[in-house]
């Protein structure tokens, strides 16, 4: 299988879009995204405070025919996108009422953005029936423009921007010093591999910011929440690093048996709030994660990445082996790895 892995990575369309598991089944993202929602909620008070202080709702609504437009980049299929966007609408409404109690409330238009392969059918079937906004879907990669110029007022991207636009080319070149032979991730990889990922990430982030700078009105807000790695901390010490090491070990075991932050440089936004948080402060000595539930939460957004390289039956077995044989040995260590400074948040205002 090791040879199969290498050749599949080279031949398959690894740069095509990867989507979360759609539908409402047991392994769907819709049913398995609670941890992401909890992690994003850690920053809610900070975001609310910045919007309250900095967003000029009167000028935004006046300049847009009394319609305030919001967008979620990397919305997946819900329900997290509904919760977070409604929270943003609530804080905008609260500020508007406090400033203009005798004026009618502006209307709200919400745009849900994700890759064209995203399960928008499930997303729209699941829309809250009592929502206070008009809804529309906008397919396309957020690494480029997907909206008209100066058409958005409040934008968010929660746990989506860490997905790269494509695999760094040097990683799939056997003659490159960044050829990551025998590994499926960069935990413990060479400096050349890390450099390839850093360069890809820097270009993707700059493209994302430039695209949003075109789409967001002056004074509009951009909110990003994503995983983070503190300076000096090896990736192998993070929960995701431990998880990917378990994936790698599982695949190698199967092969034996079968023989086989650049915001300032960008210059388009002012940083109103930036920081690092613990995405799981609710974990304590007495409160733990259910391992089977955790695997479902991992599988929901990531299965599409593995099915690009392996048949479905291999992927099914990999997750089963991960749950039965690998994670029980490291799960306590993974829980302890959820600590301060591994989730970053950014609240930016368009200049």
Inform me whether the pLDDT recorded for 345 exceeds 70.
yes
Please check whether residue 1 is in contact with residue 254, taking contact to mean a CB–CB distance below 8 angstroms: yes
Q: Which of 149, 151, 140 is nearest to 116 (CA)?
A: 140
Kind and range of the H or E run holding 215: helix 191-215
| pLDDT interval class at 258 (50, 70, 90) | very low
Pick left, alpha or beta for residue 90 (phi over 0 → left; psi -120 to 50 → alpha; otherwise beta).
alpha
Backbone angles phi, psi at 119, to 5 degrees: -80, 75
Please check whether residue 227 is in contact with residue 342, taking contact to mean a CB–CB distance below 8 angstroms: yes
- Number of domains composing the chain: 1
Q: Mean pLDDT, to the nearest integer, of 124-145?
A: 95
Q: Mean pLDDT, to the nearest integer, of 273-296?
A: 82
Q: Mean pLDDT, to the nearest integer, of 178-199?
A: 78
Amino acid 259: pLDDT = 38
Please check whether residue 21 is in contact with residue 304, taking contact to mean a CB–CB distance below 8 angstroms: yes
For the stretch 31-82, pLDDT in tens is: 877 878 888 888 899 999 999 999 888 777 666 678 999 999 999 998 899 9
Inform me whether the pLDDT recorded for 184 exceeds 80.
no
Amino acid 334: pLDDT = 79
Residue 86: domain span: 1-350
- pTM, to two decimals: 0.80
Q: Which of 311, 112, 11 is nearest to 303 (CA)?
A: 311
Please give the mean pLDDT across all residues of the chain: 82
CA distance 164 to 227: 13
CA distance 345 to 275: 6
Inform me whether the pLDDT recorded for 234 exceeds 80.
no
Tell me which of 16-20, 300-304, 343-347 is least confident. 16-20
Please check whether residue 194 is in contact with residue 186, taking contact to mean a CB–CB distance below 8 angstroms: yes
| pLDDT interval class at 16 (50, 70, 90) | low
Starting at the edge strand found earlier in the chain, the sheet holding 269-277 runs 134-139, 107-114, 67-73, 152-158, 216-227, 343-350, 269-277
CA distance 334 to 321: 17
| pLDDT interval class at 318 (50, 70, 90) | confident
Q: Mean pLDDT, to the nearest integer, of 151-175?
A: 89
Amino acid 15: pLDDT = 46
Taking the CA atoms of 302, 346, 186 and 145 in sequence, report the sign of the dihedral they define.
positive
Q: How far is CA 28 from CA 41, 302, 322, in A?
A: 21, 11, 18
For position 159, which CATH number holds?
Answer: 3.40.50.150
Please check whether residue 179 is in contact with residue 173, taking contact to mean a CB–CB distance below 8 angstroms: yes
């Amino acid at each position: 299988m090791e040879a199969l892995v290498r050749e599949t990575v080279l031949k398959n369309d690894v740069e095509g879009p990867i989507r979360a598991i759609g539908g409402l089944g047991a392994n769907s993202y819709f049913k398995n995204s609670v941890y992401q929602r909890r992690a994003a909620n850690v920053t809610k008070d900070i975001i609310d405070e910045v919007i309250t202080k900095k967003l000029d709702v009167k000028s935004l609504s006046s300049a847009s025919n009394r319609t305030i437009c919001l967008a979620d980049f990397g919305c997946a299929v819900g329900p997290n996108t509904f919760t977070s966007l409604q929270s943003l609408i609530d804080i905008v409404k609260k500020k508007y009422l406090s400033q203009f109690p005798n004026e009618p409330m502006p209307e709200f238009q919400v745009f849900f953005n994700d890759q064209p392969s995203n399960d928008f059918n499930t997303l729209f079937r699941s829309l809250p029936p009592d929502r206070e906004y008009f809804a529309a879907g906008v397919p396309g990669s957020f690494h480029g423009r997907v909206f008209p110029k100066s058409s958005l007022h409040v934008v968010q991207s929660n746990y989506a921007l860490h997905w790269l636009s494509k695999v760094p080319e040097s990683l799939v070149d056997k003659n490159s010093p960044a050829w990551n032979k025998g590994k499926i991730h960069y935990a413990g990889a060479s400096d050349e591999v890390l450099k390839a990922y850093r360069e890809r990430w820097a270009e993707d982030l700059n493209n994302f910011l430039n695209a949003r700078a075109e789409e967001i009105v002056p004074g509009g807000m951009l909110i990003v929440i994503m995983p983070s790695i503190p300076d000096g901390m090896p990736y192998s010490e993070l929960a995701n690093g431990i998880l990917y090491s378990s994936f790698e070990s599982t695949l190698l075991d199967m092969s034996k048996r079968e023989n086989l932050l650049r915001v300032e440089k960008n210059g388009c936004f002012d940083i109103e709030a930036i920081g690092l948080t613990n995405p799981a402060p609710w974990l304590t000595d007495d409160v733990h994660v259910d391992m089977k539930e955790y695997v479902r939460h991992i599988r929901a957004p990531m299965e599409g990445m593995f099915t690009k390289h392996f048949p479905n039956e291999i992927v099914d077995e990999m997750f089963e082996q991960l749950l039965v044989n690998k994670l029980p040995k490291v799960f306590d260590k993974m829980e302890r790895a959820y600590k301060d400074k591994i989730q970053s948040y950014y609240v930016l205002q368009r200049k």
